[in-house]
């Protein structure tokens, strides 16, 4: 049974790159189901790609194959890999894109393989010539039984994870979404069950958490988003427009 292939890239919609991935898949399997997860990741932003990949993986059925390509190091000696993390399979560059998928899966339930790069592959377009064809092979198989050398140490981004010291958790804004919500690297799991007393960032703060966007008053408020990450948002406005943090800003949570 074929599984769908979901694309997660920074290719945008104005060039031929995104559609070329579908063409490359169909050269291997003309009946493959290709789904656009997003091609809107900011160019070269691997951390944003890791977050969006995680967010999408929470929404699809077991066995789906993600073809994730945010690859500023294309053509260099960075590895190409395929992973299985729980019920999720993914192929892409070994540059940290799989950080959340990998780290949030039990060690005994994850596996990574090195993907070969054919001699004729374009050094500037591994998405088309390496990752999309391999995703087509993965999608045609019921199990993760493809050939490749095991990779024990896929790249995981340190910056993708918050740091806890005592009663404080420190992270950063990783993504600002379409609505202007400032999504951080701080996850609800980082709280260890403790109550959030305050959330601060350069030039601003809010007390505690709300449950919904509608629960935010006139200024910025903090809540846990659908992917399990702390967000700072405005009610009907971008977070930054009401004094919230900007992309890359440090955000700190004080726990009770």
Of the chain, the end-to-end C-alpha distance in Å amounts to: 50
pLDDT at 144 (0 to 100): 85
- Looking from the CA of 193 toward its CB, the CA atoms found within 13 Å total 0
Helix (H) or strand (E) holding 17: helix 17-28
With CA atoms as reference, report the closest residue to 75 among 5, 141, 129, 135: 129
- pLDDT at position 124: 98
* Alpha carbon distance 231, 239 (integer Å): 9
**What are residue 229's DSSP bridge partners?**
187
- Tens of each residue's pLDDT in the chain, 256 residues: 689 999 999 999 999 999 999 999 999 999 999 999 999 999 999 999 999 999 999 999 888 999 999 999 999 999 999 999 999 999 999 999 999 999 999 999 999 999 999 999 999 999 999 999 999 999 998 778 787 899 999 999 999 999 999 999 999 999 999 999 999 999 999 999 999 999 999 999 999 999 999 999 989 999 999 999 999 999 999 999 999 999 999 999 999 9
Are residues 240 and 246 in contact, defined by beta-carbon separation less than 8 angstroms? yes
Burial class of residue 195 (count of CB atoms within 10 Å of its CB; 0-12, 13-18, 19+): exposed
Q: Give the containing element (helix H, strand E) for 46.
A: helix 46-57
3-state secondary structure of 186: strand
> Do the Cβ atoms of 164 and 196 come closer than 8 Å?
no
What per-residue confidence (pLDDT) applies to 189? 96
DSSP state of 54: H
Structure tokens at 227: 């992917």
Burial of 149 (0-12, 13-18, 19+ CB in 10 A): exposed
Query: Could you give the domains of the chain?
Result: 5-139 (3.40.50.10790), 161-255 (2.40.30.90)
Contact 187/230 with Cβ under 8 angstroms? yes
Beta bridge partners of 81: 92, 114
- Side-chain-side CA neighbours of 90 within 13 Å: the count stands at 31
pTM: 0.95
What is the DSSP code (8-state) at residue 134? H
Query: Going by C-beta distance under 8 Å and a sequence separation of 6 or more, which residues neighbour residue 1?
Result: 142
35, 5 contact by CB (below 8 A): yes
Q: What are phi and psi of 143, to 5 degrees?
A: -120, 165
């Amino acid at each position: 049974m074929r599984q769908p292939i979901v694309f997660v890239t920074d290719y945008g919609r104005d060039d031929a790159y995104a559609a070329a991935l579908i063409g490359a898949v169909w050269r291997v399997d003309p009946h493959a189901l290709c789904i656009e997860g997003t091609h809107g990741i900011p160019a070269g932003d691997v951390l944003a790609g890791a977050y969006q990949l995680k967010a999408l993986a929470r929404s699809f059925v077991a066995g789906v194959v993600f073809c994730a390509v945010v690859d500023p190091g294309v053509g260099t000696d960075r590895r190409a890999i395929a992973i299985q993390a729980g019920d999720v399979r993914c192929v892409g560059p070994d540059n940290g894109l799989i950080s959340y998928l990998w780290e949030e899966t039990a060690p005994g339930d994850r596996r990574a393989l090195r993907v070969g790069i054919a001699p004729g592959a374009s050094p500037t377009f591994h998405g088309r010539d390496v990752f999309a064809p391999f995703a087509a092979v993965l999608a045609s198989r019921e199990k993760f039984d493809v050939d490749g050398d095991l990779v024990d140490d896929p790249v995981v981004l340190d910056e993708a994870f918050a740091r806890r010291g005592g009663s404080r958790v420190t992270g950063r804004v990783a993504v600002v979404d379409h609505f202007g919500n400032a999504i951080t690297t701080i996850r609800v799991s980082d709280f260890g069950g403790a109550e959030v007393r305050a959330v601060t960032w350069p030039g601003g703060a809010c007390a505690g958490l709300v449950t919904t966007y509608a629960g935010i008053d006139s200024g910025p408020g903090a809540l846990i988003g659908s992917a399990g990450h702390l967000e700072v948002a405005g009610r009907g406005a971008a977070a930054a427009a009401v004094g919230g943090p900007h992309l890359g800003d440090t955000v700190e949570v004080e726990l009770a």
